[in-house]
């Protein structure tokens, strides 16, 4: 008789058994999992699946029980829990060869690379999201993807120079809530700080770009290349789902003197995007007093209460926002 077991998250002996089951299935159990479902038969795990944020992951079925609809049962239980938590849009990452399995379970392809397939449970979800973005009014069309945590004069300098070279420029502000400042505030600051540029449209990325926080590596054998695979997928989503429909032919980026991860991402961008007809244009970082302006520098000065020192580094809208935040 089949028994369903839930964990939020699993712990103790059952966690160890789940890890061992996934390992036998050629998968790893990831940190950060918030909810898990196991199907047990005679006390032994025969299928398992988990959820982190709105991403389904670590879904596996015992070889002896494959073809019995257990994957569908796992996904159904995870969807039910997601609904109870108010999550209405789910994603999953898997190997490309698993597409037919998840097609049958109500998931749809967003983008695919050699190593990873990204799917969502909303048909044409990414196309619907992009269709609501205003269309470019002039050529050539450029784009910048930014976190802006917070919006600095470095960001503004890159935007202003790119806008001067483009007929129309999209600024995509990362929507992921993994930054010191909220996505809503970051988006507002960029909109207000670029309102004087008539050919610029500031848009959120939604849940489609830069989803590194929930990117799974449980099915990737070459762990040392996981960040590379993640970047390739993110760039494929940008190129196929955003740049193609919006007519974007240029992507602007600031050179990265501080963060090696971002530097590697920029190099991969320069290698992959031209394959999609997108020119990558890297600009020197905006500097004051010989030191590059960075959001991390602004955050450090903000945390130390050194407001007069950070004031030259940010637009007025950001400065007064930071003053307001500090007063709370």
For the stretch 113-153, pLDDT in tens is 998 999 999 999 999 999 999 999 899 999 999 999 999 99
What pTM, to 2 d.p., does this model score? 0.90
Q: Are 316 and 150 in contact (CB under 8 A)?
A: no
Q: Which pLDDT score is estimated for 213?
A: 44
- Which residue numbers in the chain have pLDDT < 70? 1-3, 211-216, 257-259
Check residue 1 and give its pLDDT. 47
H/E/C letters for each residue in 3-15? EEEEECCCCHHHH
Using the 8-state DSSP alphabet, how is residue 53 labeled? T
- Residue 258 has what pLDDT? 66
User: Which residues have CB under 8 Å from 67's CB, separation 6+?
Assistant: none
> What is the per-residue pLDDT for 43?
86
């Amino acid at each position: 008789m089949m028994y369903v077991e839930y964990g939020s998250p699993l712990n103790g002996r059952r966690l160890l058994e789940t890890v061992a089951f996934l390992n036998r299935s050629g998968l790893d159990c990831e940190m950060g999992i918030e909810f898990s479902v196991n199907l047990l038969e005679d006390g032994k795990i025969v299928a398992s699946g988990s959820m982190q944020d709105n991403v389904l992951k670590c879904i596996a079925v015992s070889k002896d029980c494959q073809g019995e609809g257990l994957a569908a049962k796992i996904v159904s239980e995870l969807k039910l829990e997601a609904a109870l938590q108010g999550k209405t849009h789910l994603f999953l990452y898997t190997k490309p060869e698993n597409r037919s399995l998840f097609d049958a379970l109500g998931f749809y392809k967003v983008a695919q690379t050699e190593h990873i397939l990204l799917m969502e449970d909303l048909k044409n979800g990414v196309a619907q999201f992009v269709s609501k973005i205003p269309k470019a009014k002039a050529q050539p069309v450029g784009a910048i993807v930014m976190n802006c945590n917070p919006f600095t004069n470095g960001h503004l300098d890159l935007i202003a120079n790119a806008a001067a070279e483009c007929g129309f420029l999209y600024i995509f502000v990362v929507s992921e809530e993994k930054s010191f400042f909220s996505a809503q505030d970051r988006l507002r600051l960029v909109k207000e700080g670029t309102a004087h540029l008539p050919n610029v449209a500031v848009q959120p990325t939604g849940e489609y770009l830069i989803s590194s926080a929930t990117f799974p590596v449980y099915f990737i054998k070459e762990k040392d290349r996981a960040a590379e695979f993640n970047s390739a997928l993110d760039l494929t989503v940008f190129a196929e789902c955003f740049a193609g429909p919006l007519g974007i032919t240029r992507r602007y980026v600031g050179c990265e003197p501080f963060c090696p991860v971002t530097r590697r991402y920029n190099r991969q961008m320069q290698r992959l995007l031209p394959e999609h007809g997108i020119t990558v244009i890297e600009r020197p970082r905006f500097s004051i007093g010989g030191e590059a302006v960075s959001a991390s520098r602004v955050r450090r000065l903000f945390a130390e209460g050194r407001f007069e020192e950070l004031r030259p580094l940010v637009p007025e809208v950001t400065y007064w926002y930071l003053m307001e935040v500090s007063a709370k």
